[in-house]
Chains A and B, each alone.
Chain A
Amino acid sequence: MRRALWVLAVLLSHWRRHPMQFATLLIGLIAATALWSGVQALNQQARTSYDRAAAAFGGARTAMLVANDGGAFPQSLFVDLRRGGWPVSPVVEGRVQIGGRSVRLLGIEPVTLPAEASSSAELSKTGAQAFLSPPGLALIAPETLADLGLKAGTAPVLNDGATLPPLAVQPQLAPGVLVVDIGMAQKLLAMPDQVSRLLIGKAKGPQASLQSVTGDRLRQVQPDAETDLERLTDSFHLNLTAFGLLSFFVGLFIVNSAIGLGFEQRLPMLRTLRACGVSARQLNAVLIVELVSIALLAGIIGLVCGYFIAASLLPNVAASLRGLYGAQIPGQLTLKPEWWLAGLAISVIGALLAATSSLLKAVRLPLLASAQPYAWQQAQQRWLTLQGIAAALVFIAAGLVLWLGDSLIAGFVVLAALLLGAALALPVILGIVLAAGERSTRRPLLTWFWADSRLQLSGLSLALMALLLALAVNVGVGTMVESFSRTFTGWLDGRLASEIYLNAASETQATEIKAWLGTRPDVQAVLPGARTDVQFKTMPIELLGFADHATYRDQWPLLETTRDAWDRVRSGDGALVSEQLSRRMNVKIGDHVDIPTPTGTWPLQVVAIYADYGNPRGQFGVNVDALVKYFPDIARTRMGVRAAPAAVPALLDAIRARFGLDGRNLADQTTVKTESLAIFNRTFAVTAALNAFTLGVAGVALLTSLLTLSNSRLPQLAPLWAIGLTRRRLAVVELMKTLSVALITALLALPLGLLVAWCLIAIVNVKAFGWRLPFHVFPMQLVQLLGVAMLASLLAALLPILRLLRMQPAELVKVFANER
């Protein structure tokens, strides 16, 4: 043990003498761990929230009985089922308004609540007695309490004047939910003797068949391993994970570079250790212990950084998930112990992965080979051919997956293969370009410039690969976001054609409003609308009803259409289908679909496909009158109002004053567009932040590679200095060499980035969200990124160049002296 510690001390002494190299290694590992763990923390936080929502008093984690038509049903069925031996517990659900905020209200019956509904245990702690006895309790998650600006123990007043029981905080509860006794909930929601669903506990004895007790009024829903929310948000989390992985690998490039160089510099030391009697097994074991220790140290720092990255990104992620999917994610980060352990494990695995080739070399280290300090760089040259072949194979694999694959994972595989192939091909391409440069000149200094750039290539190639990947992903994601932004703005103009949108409190009020609007000279048209949820084949979808009006005919964002589409919609037998539903259910123009309705099946023919960005649910667009005919109970309270833009503020004021509508049920086009664009921007704020981190890490990779290389550059530079080149001129030449290879890399990154953008738009987005965007190229954005890349390269090259400029002649003389 003591012997091993001495060997470890010797190995570690190398890093003490080369602090910059050690810093490089740490920075790489910290960056890789931080970015990966940060993204994992965000994903974990979101998934925990989904689980809380799913587990809370009969979410998707509990088996349940629901009405066949999806609505509420009489409480008497609960009694009948209990008598029939069914261990069911009733739940009533609806929404209430507190201080203008909409909150989900759940009414439960604690006595019969099955133990499987996880929060019931918490309820017993809180005290079922207090929950049931007047005035009762309203259970609330701490986040919701904070959001509503309320305090535990207070009894909030609802917007309709009713009072809730005193609030009791229950940490296990999902955010955005209030839980009260079922009797209280039925009163607050005006659902006397009505039940939304029945939770099913574990059966202890024989039970009557469901059919015999309830007829065909109820159906059983099995618990889901994965909730709808999880399914919907999977693609979002997959995108985040992909970014985390990319950053992780860019970080590992730095680690690999630092470990490779450190290992080569320590080769003579390792041979000396072996000559002094350290066995190969012990040496290799100590090398691994050293690496794991460094990885653990970097892992801890990386986790702390990852925590802060996640904490800073969480508000945007939460806003994106809320905006896109309606998922409630608390704004405060809480992490499980598994996250810390996984972070340390990923740091160690990453370090071992990056050090594999060096460790293998150590295992096979020949004792008698003479020390070759830069054999690593020479060996890299031999690998170029193999790398070129590997790149070609990876590109072929990408082509095959593109051709044969048809899933989101396949999309990411194509992307990963494209990036990996390009990274592998980069040194080969750079080698060819630099060799061509060398052949094209006869001037001695220029010849040396090209030749020496090639020599440096092997040491710089990993950092250049990292730069290529970071730039390509930046170009790809930037192009996608910009394409999306442009398309989204145009789409919003089409979808939000009415100047005012309102939702009346009742049908009576809706009729009054319509009549009143009809008398206003500033109103050009009133466009009634309605929507309802139905089950289409296996999927819950939405039916959107709109009036037959030029507003829709002229502006609705149709992607594909038949000539008489709007006439068919008006007649009630034609439907428009949203792009995501069309792709998901393979519904095309001309297809016939049958929609189940309370009045029977509604046969429709698909006559057009329209863009419906940002909506996770599939949608059919139909004529509003036909919709009302098939769904007689549908609320006819929604309408759009066309008016001259200048008249909108006065009209809004008048509606508010006359009908008491507020921000929740009255909105103008400008406000809705602003809010939609805000959601859009927040969605991509996370992507932009991760993009910037990745580019930053690539910049650090370039800097550290140049710094470590600069230590070994003296033997190449000293002869030139000796024959009369000033240090200043040498520094300029060195700078030009770095900028040249960086420029070639950046220029290669541009077409690669556009290819990445195409993959994101044509494959990943289609699979993840169900829509495809038009592909645009934005030249100014490319020029900007090129500028950023060159600036990053200039900054990275500056420090080693300044060192060279300030180098004392004695340092250069040492190259020619025996003392060195």
Chain B
Amino acid sequence: MLTVRHLTKSYRSAQEQVAVLRGVDLDIDAGESVALTGESGSGKSTLLHLIAGLDDVDGGEIRLDDTVVTGLPDAARAALRRDRLGLVFQQFNLIPSLTVGDNLAFQARVAGKHDATWQRELTERLGLGALLKRYPEQLSGGQQQRVAIGRALASKPLLLLADEPTGNLDEDTADEVLRLARDLVASTGCGFLMVTHSQRLAAMLDRHVHLRAGLIA
């Protein structure tokens, strides 16, 4: 489903050109969950952002099913994120002015894929039923991240990308949130790529890949 080949990316710092990714190869199948670990600055988040089409690659290819992501114009990449990807960030990135219910439904509505039954099931499984009328600022960190996961999965994406989704949560809450995410991913059959620092959490997923010096170790 996701195929990454010879992916390279570098940034220009004040003094020099820093190569972050030096030729990454990665494959993720439908229904597979993969943890991506690595030292700080090893390029984990960069790889995730490139797969999501949030940044431009220097070289190599990213293919999602039959679509070559690399080289797509901005509007097409936006459409790809909208219709086929789900994104979860460490900072939750909920829309503060929308209620929990509207946040959950937002991406599915924008994608024209809103399914009320699936929405209800998601709400129930994420334990958000009593919080639908609340605003993000009235939720705890764990609750906010559950809303973010729900929003990402509401449009039934092909691939869920999560960038340290538990980085702001305590250990118990992090375990709970990840278990929920993993179960929901399994029930939708989508792929799941999670960036994390935690070896413990990485062990909870199907496969674990480690990024070192810009390459998959």
Of the residues A10, A275, A282, contact of B87 by C-beta under 8 Å: A275
CB neighbours (8 Å) of A17 from chain B are 96-97, 135
Q: Does chain B have a CB within 8 A of A591? A: no
Interchain CA distance A819-B97 in the complex, whole Å: 16
Q: Select which of B74, B80, B85 is within 8 A of A280 by beta carbon.
A: B74
Q: How far is the CB of A49 from chain B (nearest CB, A)?
A: 50
- The answer to the question of A289 belonging to the interface, with a C-beta cut-off of 8 Å to chain B, is no
A275-312 interface with B by 8 A CB criterion: 275-282
User: Chain B contacts of A271 at CB under 8 A?
Assistant: 93
Query: Is B82's CB within 8 Å of the partner chain A?
Result: yes
**Chain A residue contacts of B74, Cβ below 8 A:** 279-281
Write out, one digit per residue, whether chain B residues 80-93 have a CB within 8 A of any chain A CB (1) or not (0). Answer: 11110101010101
Compute the total of residue contacts between A and B using a CB distance below 8 Å.
84
Q: Which of B52, B97, B109 contacts A16 (CB 8 A)?
A: B97
Q: Which of A2, A14, A277, A279 contacts B107 (CB 8 A)?
A: A277
Interface: A269 (CB within 8 A): yes
State how many angstroms separate the Cβ of B48 from the closest Cβ of chain A.
11
The yes or no answer to A798 lying at the interface (CB within 8 A) is no
A551 to chain B, nearest CB (A): 77
Which of these, A16, A279, A820, contacts B79 with CB under 8 Å? A279
Q: Is the CB of A819 within 8 A of B93?
A: no
In the complex, B55 has a CB within 8 A of chain A: yes
> What residues on A are CB-neighbors of B137 within 8 Å?
820
> Which residues of chain B (95-153) have a CB below 8 Å from chain A?
95-98, 102, 106-107, 109-112, 135, 137, 139-141, 151
Residues of chain A in range 334-371 having any CB-CB distance to chain B below 8 Å: 367-368, 371
- Is A96 interfacial (CB-CB < 8 Å)? no
Q: Contacts of B139 on A, CB cut-off 8 Å?
A: 819
**B130: shortest Cβ distance to chain A, in Å?**
17
Please, how many angstroms separate the alpha-carbon atoms of A281 and B73 in the complex? Answer: 12
- Is B78 positioned at the interface, with any CB of A under 8 Å from its CB? yes
Q: A373: shortest Cβ distance to chain B, in Å?
A: 11
Q: How far is the CA of A10 from the CA of B109 in the complex (A)?
A: 11
Instruction: State A273–B103 Cα separation when bound (angstroms).
Output: 11
User: Could you say which residues of chain A place their CB within 8 Å of the CB of B91?
Assistant: 371
**CA of A278 to CA of B82 in the docked complex: distance in angstroms?**
7
Q: A3-B112, A13-B98 are contacts. A276–B106 as well, Cβ < 8 Å?
A: yes
CB-contacts of B6-28 with A (<8 A): none
* Residues of B in contact with A, size category: 35 or more
B89 to chain A: closest residue by CB = A275
| Interface pair B141/A275, CB less than 8 Å apart | no
The complex places the Cα of A281 from the Cα of B76 at a distance, in Å, of: 11
Residue of A whose beta carbon sits closest to that of B46: A368
A47: interface (CB < 8 Å): no
CB-CB under 8 A from B54, the residues of chain A are 275, 367-368
Min distance, Cβ A817 to any Cβ of chain B, angstroms = 10
Instruction: Choose from A13, A276, A819, A820 the contact partner of B82 (Cβ within 8 Å).
Output: A276
Contact A819 B95 (CB under 8 A): no
Which residues on the A side are within 8 Å of B52 (C-beta)? Answer: 275
- Known A14-B97, A269-B97: A818·B168 in contact at CB below 8 Å: yes
Task: From known contacts A3-B110, A10-B95, A13-B98, infer whether A280 and B78 are also in contact, taking CB-CB under 8 Å.
Answer: yes
CA distance A7 to B81 in the complex (A): 15
Q: Within the assembled complex, what's the spacing in Å between the Cα atoms of A388 and B170? A: 49
Interfacial chain A residues near B217, Cβ < 8 Å = none
A798 to B85: give the CA distance in the assembly, Å: 49
Nearest neighbor of B78 in chain A, beta-carbon distance: A279
State whether the Cβ of A274 lies closer than 8 Å to any Cβ in chain B: yes
Q: Which of A471-529 contact B (CB under 8 A)?
A: none
B102: nearest residue on chain A (CB-CB)? A13
Q: Tell me whether A272 is interfacial, beta carbon within 8 Å.
A: yes
Which residues of A251-275 are within 8 A (CB) of B? 268-269, 271-275
Min Cβ gap B114→A in Å is 10
By a CB distance below 8 angstroms, the chain A residues around B80 are: 277
B98 and A10 contacting across the interface, CB-CB below 8 Å: yes
Contact with A along B47-61 (1 / 0, CB 8 A): 001001011000000
Neighbouring A residues of B140 by C-beta, 8 Å: 818-819
In the complex the two chains form, what is the Cα distance from A16 to B135 in whole Å? 12
A6 located at the interface, meaning its Cβ lies under 8 Å from any Cβ of chain B in the complex: yes
Closest to A269 in B: B95
**In the complex, how many angstroms separate the beta carbon of B4 from the nearest chain A beta carbon?**
19
Give the chain A neighbours of B55 by CB distance below 8 A.
Answer: 367-368
Query: Which residues of B lie under 8 Å from residue A274 when comparing CB positions?
Result: 78
- A2 contacts B112, C-beta separation under 8 Å: yes
Given A10-B106, A13-B97, A371-B91, A278–B141 Cβ distance below 8 Å? Answer: no
Which of A7, A18, A275, A277 sits near B83, CB closer than 8 Å? Answer: A277
Among A13-32, those with CB < 8 Å from B are 13-14, 16-18
A816 shortest CB reach to chain B, Å: 15
Contacts of A10 in B (CB 8 A): 95, 97-98, 106
CA distance A86 to B110 in the complex (A): 75
CB B10 to nearest CB in A, in angstroms, measures 15
Known: A279-B74, A367-B54, A368-B55. A272 touches B95 (CB 8 A): yes
B62 at the A interface (CB under 8 A): no
Residue of chain B at shortest CB distance from A12? B97
- Which of chain B's residues have a CB closer than 8 A to the CB of A275? 52, 54, 81, 87, 89, 93
Find out whether the CB atom of A6 lies under 8 angstroms from the CB atom of B97: no
Q: Which one of A269, A277, A371, A820 contacts B110 once the chains associate, using CB atoms below 8 Å?
A: A277
Neighbouring A residues of B49 by C-beta, 8 Å: 368
Q: How far apart are B32's CB and chain A's nearest CB, in angstroms?
A: 23
CA distance A368 to B95 in the complex (A): 17
Assembled-state Cα–Cα distance A371/B54 (Å)? 15
Contact residues in A for B89 (Cβ distance below 8 Å): 275
Contact of A6 among B81, B83, B106 (CB under 8 A): B106
The reply to whether A281 and B87 form a contact with Cβ atoms under 8 Å apart is: no
- Which of chain A's residues has its CB closest to B73's CB? A279
Q: Tell me if B94 counts as interface (CB < 8 A to partner A).
A: yes
| CA–CA, A221 and B54, complex, Å | 73
Closest to A274 in B: B78
Cβ < 8 Å to A, chain B residues 139-196: 139-141, 151, 168
A93 to B155, CA, bound (A): 83
Complex CA gap A13/B100 in Å reads 13
A-B contact pairs, 9 of them (CB 8 A): A10-B97, A13-B98, A269-B96, A275-B54, A277-B81, A277-B111, A278-B82, A279-B79, A818-B140
> CB within 8 Å of B: which residues of A?
2-3, 6-7, 10, 13-14, 16-18, 268-269, 271-282, 367-368, 371, 818-820
Can you add 4 more A-B contacts, CB < 8 Å, to A7-B110, A10-B97? A10-B98, A274-B78, A275-B52, A277-B83
